[in-house]
Structure 1
Amino acid sequence: MQPSYVFKASKAMANLCTEMDCNKDGILNEEFAFINAKHNRCKNFKTVTLRTYHPILRKTICLAKMEAEAESSENLEIFWKLLNEMLEEVNNQTGVRQVFGEYILQKCSSCEFHYKQSVHRHAKKVSERSADFINLAEGLLDALSISDFNVASSEIKDFIDNNAYHQQLNGWYKWWLQRKSHIFRAFKAENTPASNLAEIGHAKIASVGRAFMSLLEGLEKTQHSLSCKMLKYVCLIRDYRKVARGPQATNERLKNITLVVVSVLIVLHGVIGYPYPGDNASTEDLVKYYFCCLYTTREICGFLMLCHGIFVSVSTIERMKRRLGLRRRQNHNPTFLVQEKILELRSEGYANLDYRSMWRLLNSQYNLTVTQETVRLCLRAIDSVGVESRRRHRLHRRSYFNSGPNYLIHIDGYDKLRSYGIAIHGDIDGYSRRILWLKAGPSNNNPTYIAKFYLNFVKESRRIPRVVRADAGTKNVIVRDLQIALRFDHGDAMSELRSFSTGRSTGNQRIERLWRNLSESFTSFWRNTFAYLRDADIFCTAEPLHIECIRYCFLPLIRSQLQEFMETWNEHRVRRQRQIQAHTGVPNVLYFQPQMFGTFDYSFPLQCSVETLDELAVEYSEEWPIRGCSEEFLELIRYLTGEEPTLFLIPQDMNEALQNFCVLIYMCDSITGRI
C-alpha cells in the first residue's frame, strides 16, 4: 500500500475534504490527515492541532493538540526542525504525480500560492500604491539568485519604510523573510515539496505502537520512518474555495491556554488473544478460551467432550456464555480502533491478508470484536488496489484425497528466506489442513533438527501418524527411520516401510499450498525488508557475520509471528468451493473432532514409553542453537559487549530489531575492517 495524505491549513479546509467524498468519486479511498500549525499568527497564540479523516466514519477526528501561552523556544525549534527533515526526504510533488497524474498539479496550493494570497490582502492597505506593492513583493518571488533577492528586498524595504502602514507591513515582511528557505525560489532546495511548510504533518503517529506518546516523540518516530523511505507523501488540495483563515481564538480561550503538550492518541496494546488455560482448567475457562478462538457453541461442546472428557449440553454452554458476558453481537469495538490495528498489522507484514483472514486475526489473536463487513470496508478504504487484485484472482487446484486426521501428513522445508540465513520447516495434516509445527531457524536441511520436530510432535500427541509424506533427500533420513521403527509392529497394510512416502516436491501438494499462503501473508514482508537492507548496502549476504546478525536480531521476531500465523491458520474456517471435493470447516475442529464429519483419527498408539522417545531424541536429534547463532558468534558478542548474549532482551517489534541489527553490523564491520 502507498499511503496518501491530504494536508490542509485549518479545520475549515479539513471539512472541505470531507465534502470531497460526498460524491463518492473515489478520491478519498484511504486515511487522510490534516494539521493546523500556527506560530505567532496572533499575539501569544501558538498551537498545533492534528486531525485525521476516516472514510468509514466520514468525519474528521482530533488526534493530538499542542497549545501554549508561552511555549518554550526549544520545543518550537524541535517541532519545526522535525518537519523540515520530514519534507527534505520527499521529492517535489512526486507522490502527487504517481497517484493522481500530472493534471492534479493544477489544483495544488503551494507555499507560493499562500504568499501571493497574503500579498494581495496586504495590498488593500496601500490602495493608492497597491500595484507597486504587488510588483515589489512578486519581485522577491521571481528572484532566482540570492543577489537578485537582496536587491528586490532592499527595494520593498524602502517602500515599506516610506508608507503610513510601515509598522504592519514591516511585521508582515519579517514573517515571510524568516521562511525564505521554503517560499522564495532563490533559497528553495531542489527537493523541497511545493506545499505549505508551516501547515503540514501527518496522522501516522498512533501506528508506530507507542502508547501515551507526545506529539514531539511521535514526530521523531515519523522522521525515522521517512529516513527509511517507508512512507510516501501526497500533498493534494482540491479546487480552492474561499474560507475563513487565521485563528479564531476568543479571550476566554486564551486565558485557559497553559503550557502543556497533550497526547490523546488511542493506541491498541496488541494483546495476544486469550491464552490456553491448560488441560486441567475449569469448564468456564475452557469455554472462554474456545469462544475467543471463534468456535461455535456446538464446536465448543465437541472440544469439551472429545478432548477434555467434559460432558455438557449446548444449552448449558449458552447459559454459561451469558453468565460470563461472552457475546459477539452488539459488542463491537469502535471502527477507528479496528482501522488503526489493521494499519499496524499491515506494517508488520500482514499487508496481503484478505478480509476474512484479517477478521479472524483481529478477533482471535488481538482480543477485538469486529464483524467481517467492518473489516472488509476498512481494507477497501485502506488498500482498494489490493482488494481488487485479490477479488479477480482465480485459483485452480488439482484433486486431492485424504480419509481423516493423521491418514497422511506432509513435511517440507521452505527456503525463500535461506539466502538471508533463515530457514523454515513445517508439517501439515492432509485431511484437516491443520499445521502440526512451523519452525524457523538456521537450517532446515539438517536431519537431526527435523527429527527433533517429529519426536516432539509424537511425544505431545502420544500417537503415530499412519503415513508421513516428505521430499526425497538426506535431510529426511532420520525421520524416515524413526517413522518406520515406530510403525513396525502395527501390522496394517501401511506399516513398516510403507509408512514413509517420498517423492518430488511438486507432489507434496498440501504443504506446497501452505507455503503459498505463508508467502502471501508473511514471507513477502520479510523478503522485502531484508532486500531493502541489502540494496542499501547495510547487509551483505556473502558476509557470514552479517548472516549471524540477521539471525540474532530478527529470528525471535520471525518465530513469534510464525507461531501467530499457525494459531490463526488452525482456527480459520475453510470455505466450501464449487467443483472441488474437499472437506470444509475449521482445521482444529476437523482434526480433533473427526467423528462430527463421519470419519476417525487414523493415527496409531505409541507402543513405547515416553522415556524411550527421550532416549531417541538424545541419540538421533538435536536442538537448534540459541537465538539460531553459532557459538563463535555468541562469543564475539560477549567480547564486544562484555555481557552474556542470551541475557539480552528479545526485540518486541520491527523498530527494535532494526536498531539492534544496525548496531551489531556496525560493531562487526569495525572489527573486520569493512568500514
Structure 2
Amino acid sequence: MEQRNNLIEMYYTLRLTFDEIKYKVIISTRQLKRIVASLGLYRRRSRGNLFDVATFISKELKVSGQPHGYRWMHTNCLERGLEIDKESVRLIIKCLDPTGVKCRNARKLTRRAYMNNGPNYIWHMDGYDKLKPYEICIHGCIDGFSRNIMWLEADTTNKDPYVIAGYFIDTVREVGGCPRCIRADLGTENGIVRELQVALRDCDGHETNAFLYGTSKCNQRIESWWNILRKECAQFWMDMFQTIKDDGHFSGDFLDVNLIRFYFMNLVHVCFQNILLSINNF
C-alpha cells in the first residue's frame, strides 16, 4: 500500500495524467483520485514557498526575463523546481512589474489560422535585424508543423548567401534530410539555399514547389517566432545596447561596432542557443 502511494505521488509530481498513472499502477480512475486527494496532491494549488518564487521572479525581472509573461515565467519556475500555479505567478508579476504587464496587455494580437501537413513539410526561414545597428545579425529557421527551431545563429551578417547556405547544409546533414518545401522572402541571401533545395528535391523527383518566395509579413511561422525571441531575450540586449548608446559610449563608428561585437557576440549567441535548447526540449 505504501509503495503504491509513493509511486502515485512520484508520477503525479512528474505531471503525468490520471490515465497515464492508472495504467502504470493498475488502478481505477475513481480510486486513483481518492488516493491523490488523501495524499494532499493538488496541481492547481501552490505547493512551493511563495517567498522563494517571488525572489526568483524578482531576479529574472532584473535580467533577460523582464519581457516574459506569466506563462513563460511559470515554465521557468517549474524548470527550477519551484512548484507553483500560474495564477500565483501572474499575481506576483502584476505586483512586481505592473508597467510590464500593462505594456504586454496593450500588444495583444488576434492569431490567424495556420495549416501544415506534417513535420518537415515546410521550413520557414528569415533574418532578424533588431540588433543589426550593432553589427550583430541573426538568422533562423523553424519547422512549420512542430515549431522545432532548425537553426538560430548570431553572426556578423545575415545577408551573405554563402553563410545562409552553410546554415542550411549543416542542418540538413544533422537531421539527415531536407524539407519538402522552404518558405522565405525575396532577399538575394536566399538564392543559394533555393538552388540547393531544388537540387535536393529533384533527386527524389519532387522538384515542384520545393521553394516558395513571398513577403516577410506573410511568412507567418518565423515572424511569430521572432516575437517570442524578442520577449525571451532579444529585448534585453536591445535595451542594454541602447543604454550604452544613450550614455555616450557607442557612436556607431568602426571601433565601437567592433568592440560591441568582440565583447557581446559570443554572449548573444550562447543566450540564443540556450533558448533554442530549452524550447526544443520543452
Alignment TM class, shorter chain as reference: 0.7 to 0.9
The percentage of counterpart residues that share the same residue type is 37
Displacement of 1:295 in angstroms is 8.0
The equivalent of 1:515 in structure 2 is 226
Aligned equivalents of 2:165, 2:96: Cα separation in 1 = 44
Instruction: Give the match for residue 93 of structure 2.
Output: 379
Closer, same or farther: CA 367–454 of 1 in aligned 2, 3 Å: farther
> Residue 248 of structure 2: SS of its match in structure 1?
coil
Asked if 2 retains the 8 angstrom alpha-carbon contact of 1:472 and 1:504, the reply is yes
Corresponding residue of 1:462: 176
- Candidates 254, 261, 278, aligned match of 1:551: 261
Deviations along 1:108-153, whole A, 9 cap, x unmatched? xxxxxxxxxxxxxxxxxxxxxxxxxxxxxxxxxxxxxxxxxxxxxx
- CA change 1:477–1:566 in 2 (3 A) is same
Give CA deviations for 1:595-632 in whole Å, capped at 9, x if unaligned.
Answer: xxxxxxxxxxxxxxxxxxxxxxxxxxxxxxxxxxxxxx
**1:433: Cα distance to partner?**
2.1
Is 1:525 the counterpart of 2:236? The answer is yes
Output the amino acid matched with 2:231: E
Q: Tell me the equivalent position of 1:270.
A: none
Establish whether residue 357 from structure 1 lines up as the match of residue 72 from structure 2: yes
> Structure 2 counterpart of 1:349, which letter?
S
Q: After TM superposition, give the deviation of residue 521 of structure 1 in Å.
A: 3.3
2:4 maps to none
Change (3 A) 1:458 1:500: same
User: Aligned partners of 1:559, 1:370: CA distance in 2, in Å?
Assistant: 31
Matched residues in 2 for 1:389 and 1:516: separation?
Answer: 14
How far does the alpha carbon of each residue in 1:295-315 deviate from its partner, in whole angstroms, 9 at most, with x for none?
8547xx9xxxxxxxxxxx961
Q: Secondary structure at the match of 1:549?
A: helix
CA contact (8 A) 2:122 2:181 kept: yes
In the alignment, the residues of structure 2 paired with residue 546 and residue 405 of structure 1 have an alpha-carbon distance, to the nearest angstrom, of 43
Partner of 1:334: 49
Return the offset for 1:563: 2.1
* Equivalent residue letter for 1:478: I
- The one-letter amino acid of 2:189's match is K
Match of 1:475 in 2: 189
CA drift of 1:527 comes to 1.4
The answer to whether the aligner puts 1:535 opposite 2:246 as a matched pair is yes
Find the counterpart in structure 2 of residue 347 from structure 1.
Answer: 62
Aligned residue among 21, 24, 40 for 1:315: 24
- Given the superposition, is the C-alpha separation of residues 388 and 533 from structure 1 closer, same or farther in structure 2, using an over 3 Å criterion? closer
Aligned to 1:567: 277
After TM superposition, the structure 1 stretch with the greater mean CA deviation from structure 2, 367-376 or 508-517, is: 367-376
Describe how 1:203-352 pairs up with structure 2 within 5 A.
297=16, 315=24, 332-352=47-67
- State the shift of 1:468 in Å: 0.7
- Deviation string for 1:459-516 (max 9, x for gaps)? 221122110111112211221122112111223xxx2252111122122111112112
Q: Closer, same or farther in 2 for the Cα pair 1:352/1:480, shift >3 Å?
A: same
Say if 1:422 and 1:328 are closer, same or farther in 2 by CA, change over 3 A. Answer: farther
Shift in Å, 1:571? 5.3
Give, in angstroms, the shift of residue 398 of structure 1.
Answer: 3.4
Q: Structure 1 residues 506, 336: CA separation in 2 closer, same or farther (over 3 Å shift)?
A: same
In angstroms, what is the RMSD of aligned CA positions? 2.9
Q: TM-score, normalised by structure 1?
A: 0.35
Q: Distance in 2 between matches of 1:296 and 1:458?
A: 34
Between the two proteins, the alignment pairs up a number of residues equal to: 254
- How far, CA to CA, are the matches of 1:424 and 1:471 in structure 2? 15
Partners of 2:208 and 2:254 lie apart in 1 by: 40
SS at match of 2:124: strand
* 1:518-568 C-alpha deviation (Å, 9 max, x unpaired): 223322221121111112111221x22221211121122212221232234
1:406 aligns with 2:117: no
| Distance verdict in 2 for CA 1:556–1:328, change over 3 Å | farther
Any idea what the Cα deviations from partners look like across 1:177-210, whole Å, max 9, x if unmatched? xxxxxxxxxxxxxxxxxxxxxxxxxxxxxxxxxx
**Against the structure 1 CA distance between its residues 460 and 314, is the aligned structure 2 distance closer, same or farther, given a 3 Å change threshold?**
farther
Separation in structure 2 between the aligned mates of residue 529 and residue 537 of structure 1, nearest angstrom: 13
Match of 1:426 among 140, 145, 154: 140
**Residue in 2 that maps onto 1:207:** none
Alpha-carbon separation, structure 1, partners of 2:42 and 2:127: 39
More helix as a share of residues: 2
TM-score, normalization: structure 2?
A: 0.79
Whether the 8 Å contact between 1:360 and 1:568 is mirrored in structure 2 is: no
Question: C-alpha displacement at 1:388, in angstroms?
Answer: 3.9
Decide whether aligned partners of structure 1 residues 296 and 463 sit closer, same or farther in structure 2, where only a CA change above 3 A counts. farther
1:471–1:503 CA contact under 8 A, matched in 2: yes
Whose RCO is larger (CA < 8 A, sep 6+)?
A: 2
Cα pair 2:184 2:219 within 8 Å, conserved: yes
Q: Which secondary structure state, in structure 2, belongs to the residue aligned with residue 456 of structure 1?
A: helix
How far is 1:333 from its partner?
Answer: 4.0
1:496 match: secondary structure: coil
Distance of 1:545 and 1:497 partners within structure 2: 48
Change (3 A) 1:328 1:442: farther
Shift of 1:389: 4.1
Which residue matches 1:611? none
On the 8 A contact 2:65/2:232 being kept in 1, the answer is yes
> Following TM superposition, by how much is the alpha carbon of 1:384 offset from its aligned partner in structure 2, in angstroms?
2.3
| Shift in CA distance, 328/485, structure 1 to aligned 2, threshold 3 Å | farther
Preserved CA contact (<8 Å) 1:328 1:369: no
